[in-house]
Amino acid sequence: MLQSVLTSRGPSSETYGILGRVYKDRYDRAKSASEFVARAELDKAIEAYLKGFEADWRDAYPGINAVTLMELRQPPDPRQAELIPLVTYAVKRRVACAKPDYWDFATLLELAVLARDGERVLNALGPVLTSIRESWMAETTLRNLDLIAETRQTRGEPPPEWFTTVLSELQKRAS
């Protein structure tokens, strides 16, 4: 159905974002069943989110999802390094020009984690923690950060102290 909407109405960051989420959910379900199916669904999710970000660079939602899922690839998708600064810029513009909310701050935090920039991570943590309105918000961010941590540990990258601090602080808010 989403593909037919894209065909009839053209590219849309929102429609591609929903399609990316469908593929991401399929990836999550396939991980325990088949490595090959999971990888294919992950690739579909990345491409859908990427097309969504390319359809409207002002919409960071598909962009952050694309770069996060690119981290989960083995090896990581090389396009990630080019996209992180673009998605970061999109979010910073939204923060500067609109009324930022939890998701804007959480996106900046996640981007800093993906960039392995501990100073930016710790600077982003305060606004994230003070803008949480419901525990499920922290749970959603924590889930993404856990995926990143698990993937990096699989590669033999132990989490830096700042990453452990972020996970601990978000876990407190999710409980």
Rounded-to-integer distance, Cα 41 and Cα 39, Å: 5
* Res 11: pLDDT: 80
- What pLDDT digit, counting tens, does each position of 52-102 carry? 999 999 999 999 999 999 999 999 999 999 999 999 999 999 999 989 999
pLDDT tens per residue across span 3-41: 787 778 878 888 899 899 999 999 999 999 999 999 999
The domains located in the chain, with CATH, are: 11-96 (1.25.40), 99-175 (no CATH)
Helix axes 13-30, 35-55, angle to 10 degrees: 170
What would the two tokens of residue 101 be?
A: 């909310």
Q: What pLDDT score does 172 carry?
A: 94
- The model's pLDDT over 96-115, given as tens digits with 9 standing for 90+, comes to 998 999 999 999 999 999 99
Helix-strand-coil percent breakdown of the chain, rounded to 5? Answer: 80, 0, 20
* Statement: the pTM of the whole predicted model exceeds 0.75: yes
Find the mean pLDDT for residues 119-148: 96
d(CA 175, CA 171): 6
The token pair at 80 is 């990630």
